[in-house]
Amino acid sequence: MRKSRIPGLTGAGLIGALLLFGCGNSSNKKAGQEKEVNKEAAVNTLTDAEKADGWQLLFDGKTLNGWRGIGIDEPPKGHWEVVDGCIHKIGKENVPRQADGQPIKGGDLMTDTTFNDFILKFDWKISKGGNSGVKYNVIEEVSVKNGWTGALGYEYQVIDDVNFKGGLGPKHQAGALYDMIAPNNNKVLKPLGEFNTSKIVFVGNHGEHWLNGKKIVEYDIDSPEFQKLFQESKYHDHKDFTKHKIAHIVLQDHGDDCLYRNIKIKRVD
């Protein structure tokens, strides 16, 4: 496990990056912040109650064991690392370069394991103006067949709503079921530089997205409303897209710095 390092930044830029991307405990906490330290100590662990309830960690806080790229046996080199107890998607400005100056090939980060019915929890922090996502219901073979390094699947949008410069419609904002369902008015997004806590429920034909303790998206795959949203989305040419599959979970490589931690899952019988 490596300590916080944002390549290519020095001085004030480095200080700002470290403030944004800090994951682990700080040794400079004041006495009045003892509760926060204790809370941070539980990062990337399971409580006894969670263990008894069937939860398992998808990230051990130290390695990328259990994760790999699309169609390859290891994580995309130079694009993903572990920094202070977080999975760090290295920004495109700082990935290694080829001889011609172009960045080396990246790609999404995918679980080795597939899942059917589940509840997934994770914390995330995005860089200023950054864009990423957590995908589920992902069949690897579809991407491999098409030569993609990015996965096709349902996507929980992870993005900086305030500073993203690409233009954001409601269905592309943080917490959305990307390009299909916008978050509702329960949504409360943490300020830039703080971790958000998210949850995905995917059981049978029912799905939910939660953000910071509030349910912000809910859908039923077999409903006429969902099928209409699918037909209006960019996915409409993928005829089996709406089918619930035994499939992988994926962290998206959208080229921007992003941090993930506390990734845990519970299979639902």
Residue 192 CB contacts under 8 Å (≥ 6 apart), including other chains = 20, 126, 128, 160, 162, 163
Enclosing H/E stretch for 195: none
pLDDT of residue 21: 53
Token duo for residue 268: 């639902």
Please give the pLDDT value at position 20: 53
Supply the pLDDT for residue 13: 32
- Predicted confidence at residue 167, as pLDDT, reads 73
pTM as predicted: 0.87
The half-sphere exposure of 81 on its side-chain side, counting CA atoms within 13 A, is 18
- pLDDT tens-place string over residues 81-125: 999 999 999 999 999 998 888 889 899 999 999 999 999 999 999
List of the chain residues with pLDDT < 50: 2-19, 25-40
CATH number for the region 11-24+32-267 comes to 2.60.120.560
Helices (H) and strands (E) in the chain, counts: 5, 13
- The pLDDT assigned to 24 comes to 56
